[in-house]
Each structure stands twice: as C-alpha cells, then as structure tokens.
Amino acid sequence: MRTALIGYGLGGSAFHAPFIATTPGLTLSAVVTANEERQAEVASKYPGTEVVPSLDDVLRRADEFDLAVVTTPNRHHASHARSALEHGLNTVVDKPFADSAATARALAALAAERGVRVIPFHNRRWDGDFRTVRALVDAGTLGDVHRFESRFERWRPEPKDSWKESGDPADQGSIVFDLGTHLIDQAVALFGRPTTVYAEVRTLRPDAKAHDDAFLALTHANGTVSHLWASALAADLGPRFRVLGDKAAYVKHGMDPQEELLKAGAIPGGTDWGADAEESWGTLSGTSPRTPVETERGAYQDFYAAIAAGRSPVPVADAIAGLEVVAAAFESARTHRTISLAN
C-alpha cells in the first residue's frame, strides 16, 4: 500500500514512519511537512520517500496513493481525514480520532459511502503491559474483574508552550484528549462501552492553560468499574495497572518500553523488540503467594501489519464510544454529576 504520512512531528516521526517503512506490504511513499528541518530528517532517514509541503500536494495525486495516515495537530485530525476519504484514500487517524462523537460518526459514514476504510490509531492496545492484562482477563485468571485501575502519570511541573497544552478548545489540548484517550480506549477494549461516567478534570499548575489532571470512573454494562488517572503533576507515580478480580489481582508498575525506544530512534523489529525488563514485570496475587508474571512483548508493529493485511485493527465504534466518554467526562466535571450515556 502506497502510504502518505500527513505530518511529521513526534507522532509521525516516532510512532508511524518507522512502522510504515518496515511493515511488509506498506511503502512510505510520501511525507507531508512544511518544516525544513523535518524535511531534511525525512530525506536522511527515508531516502526513497518523497517529501511534500502540504496535504493538497497529496490530494492532487490521490490516485498515486492507497493509504493516508493523519498525524497532524489535533484540531486538524477530522478535517484532514475527511479530505483524504473524499479523495478515495483508506485513512488512519491518530488519536483523538475527532473532536466529538458526532464528527467521528460522520467520518465513518463518509468512509462507508466511498468504499474505503477509516481506522483509529490507538496503538496503546499493543503495549506489552496491556496485552498482559488482556490475556489474564481473557483466560479467566483473575476471575470476574470488579475494578480496573489504569494510570498515565507524569511529573512535569512546568507547562510546555505548545498546542498540546493550549487553552484554545479547538486545539483539544486537555489531558483528557491526550493521555485520557489512551486510558479510555483500553477500558473500552476490555469491558465495552460504559453506561455511566463520573469525572474530575482540573488545571493544577499555576501557568497551565489546559487541563493537566483528570480522574474518570466508568461503569460498564457487566458491572466492572474502571478507575482512570491522567496527570502531569504526579511526583510519585502510582501503578500503571491494578486489576482486581474475584480470583486474583494483577499489579504492574512502569511503562511499556516501546515509546522511549522510538523516541531514541530505534528501528522496530528483532527478537528483543518490546521486551520488558524482568524487574518490571507485574505480579499476580490472591489465594496463592504473590508471583511475577512475564510481560508480553509490546507490539506496535501489529497495528500496521493488520492494515497491510486488509484488516481494521481498531473498530471505529470503539473510537466513537471513547469520544462519548470524553464529552461525558467534561460534562461531569462541570456539573459535578454522574453522566449516563444514551443507549
């Protein structure tokens, strides 16, 4: 699949280009960026890839491409995806998939009308620790899960001057749109669309313009409760996962190693890719003594392998459900009420 990567910031350079370039069945044919330094980086790292300054340069030649990957700033995700779909391109859209569930539904309808795929990019489903949680839940090792706790916490007391922390609502700079969408998507992937949402969403750092701290409580139809934390002001990091069932509990600290490897310029692949250090493995406890559980390998490459095989690895319905949760979280934080999601 001849692929045009739309955007080459951190997302494009670390989470998309390396996998598009190394996945059999995909070709990194073009990268869209107007930034001269980024253009030079693409030319150096991917000498066979064309660099073009604008999305229009791709759309004018849409018949030369099979897949567009949208990884521009959040405010442009939906409009750029819409343009790609209108020109008949299968389209991957980085998170957040859209600014609202209504916009997401419109993108899904447009893709169906044009006979192409639109696929949300929720790569954290291929974090090794989440894959381990999913395997334990699916195997029944934990029994019936009554509480799922998940955290993305950081210690960044000084805000950054970027669109990611902008106070303009159009930039979707809230931590709920950033780290929160990963947390919500993982909960939806495990337990389905929730029925109620309660949230506390705050701006804690003195000079911050966007939300930098959030807690969400989701109640799922099966009775499981998901407690989700996202914070930029956590000087002491809680467990990445704490999953409680009626047979056992699983607790995991630390982050999946793939992000740091990619930021450092590592090329995905090889027998050690995505391997978690043994001292970072989670533990299983309950009626038996606490025992370590080897973390499954992180496998971001599986997302693009599925694309190349003609599959959609993340259902659009899940992204729509996630955006419904985001909207309900903002409403709950504003009104101090638990919000019920419509059937």
Listed in order, strand segments (DSSP E) in 67-193 are 67-70, 90-94, 118-121, 145-153
Q: According to the model, what pLDDT value does residue 194 have? A: 98
Q: According to the model, what pLDDT value does residue 264 have? A: 93
Q: Which of 121, 155, 189 is the last residue of a domain?
A: 121
Q: Which of 92, 121, 150 is the last residue of a domain?
A: 121
Task: Give Cα 272 to chain centroid, integer Å.
Answer: 23
d(CA 77, CA 233): 27
Nearest to 278 by CA among 310, 308, 260, 254: 254
pLDDT single digits (tens) 299-317: 999 999 999 999 999 999 9
pLDDT at 161 over 90: no
238 shares its domain with 286: yes
pLDDT single digits (tens) 110-146: 999 999 999 999 999 999 999 999 999 999 999 999 9
Give the total number of structural domains in the chain: 2
Task: Give Cα 37 to chain centroid, integer Å.
Answer: 26
Q: Return the bridge partners of 249, or none.
A: 244, 285
pLDDT single digits (tens) 66-110: 999 999 999 999 999 999 999 999 999 999 999 999 999 999 999
Rounded to the nearest 10 degrees, the angle between the axes of helix 128-139 and helix 179-191 is: 20
pLDDT at 288 over 80: no
CATH code assigned at 315: 3.30.360.10
Please report which confidence band the pLDDT of residue 9 belongs to, taking 50, 70 and 90 as the band edges. Answer: very high
Task: Compute φ and ψ for 32, nearest 5 degrees.
Answer: -100, 115
Single-letter amino acid code for the residue at 56: D
Q: What angle do CA 147, 152, 157 make, to 5 degrees?
A: 135
Element (H, E) at 183: helix 179-191
159 shares its domain with 285: yes
Q: According to the model, what pLDDT value does residue 271 have? A: 85
d(CA 261, CA 287): 37
136 shares its domain with 248: yes
Which whole number is the average pLDDT over 154-177? 92
Site of tokens 């916009």: 103
Single-letter amino acid code for the residue at 196: T
Listed in order, strand segments (DSSP E) in 210-331 are 213-220, 225-231, 241-245, 248-252, 282-286, 291-293
- Residue 16: give the domain boundaries: 2-121
170 shares its domain with 200: yes
Please report which confidence band the pLDDT of residue 150 belongs to, taking 50, 70 and 90 as the band edges. Answer: very high
Percent of the residues in the chain that have a pLDDT greater than 70, as a whole number: 100
Contacts of 60 (CB under 8 A, 6+ apart): none
274 shares its domain with 201: yes
232 shares its domain with 325: yes
Please report which confidence band the pLDDT of residue 164 belongs to, taking 50, 70 and 90 as the band edges. Answer: confident
263 shares its domain with 170: yes
Element (H, E) at 322: helix 316-335
Please report which confidence band the pLDDT of residue 289 belongs to, taking 50, 70 and 90 as the band edges. Answer: confident
In whole numbers, what is the pLDDT of the chain averaged over residues?
A: 96
Please, what's the b/e burial string for 57-86 (b: 16 or more CB within 10 A of its CB; e: otherwise)?
A: ebbeebeebbbbbbbbbbbbbbebbbbbbe
pLDDT at 5 over 80: yes
pLDDT single digits (tens) 174-200: 999 999 999 999 999 999 999 999 999
Which whole number is the average pLDDT over 27-43? 97
Structure tokens at 320: 């729509």
Which whole number is the average pLDDT over 8-16? 95
pLDDT at 337 over 80: yes
Q: According to the model, what pLDDT value does residue 29 have? A: 98
pLDDT single digits (tens) 242-277: 999 999 999 999 999 999 999 999 999 888 999 999
Q: Which of 121, 145, 163 is the last residue of a domain?
A: 121
